[in-house]
Amino acid sequence: MVLFLAIMGCMNVRNAKICDVDAIHSLISCYAEQDRMLFRSHADIYENLQIFKVAEAEKGQVVGCCALAVVWSDLAEVKSLAVDKGHFGKGAGKVLVNACVEAARDLGVGKVFTLTLEPQFFEKLGFVVVSKETFPMKVWSDCAR
């Protein structure tokens, strides 16, 4: 039996920097304009830049972003996952979410959740669907938005 794996170009994930704010804003805005995620202003991204990670394609262009927000001593949220449509299926979303989960682990956070319109994507990464009542009221308020 012969097994084959085609390796796509290298996908680098790193902590976001000031120079990434416009790219992050653009990625998120594309989805927000379609009501696929919450809008985030430039000011909000600047204020929360330390929670963002970005994925870079081979030539260094930012092709995805994701954030990890700690909401309680044992709970963090993976949020604002956005990948450039031209890079779908190339692993950017997966490496971004995995980087956020690893960051949560490094912080000592025991549980990670996400609010999403794409549950199948997250289920492939090991997330399971649970009732929103499982979480504090703050999380519910985000669901309503």
Distance in angstroms (rounded) separating the CA atoms of residues 12 and 14: 7
Whether residue 2 lies inside any domain: the answer is no
Over residues 3-60, the pLDDT tens digits come to 554 445 568 999 999 999 999 999 999 999 999 999 999 999 999 999 999 999 988 8
pTM of the full structure:
0.87
Residue 97 belongs to a domain with what CATH number? 3.40.630.30
- Is it the case that residue 75 has pLDDT exceeding 70? yes
What range does the domain containing 113 cover?
A: 12-144
Whether residue 3 lies inside any domain: the answer is no
* Residue 100 Cα distances to 1, 86, 123, angstroms: 36, 22, 15
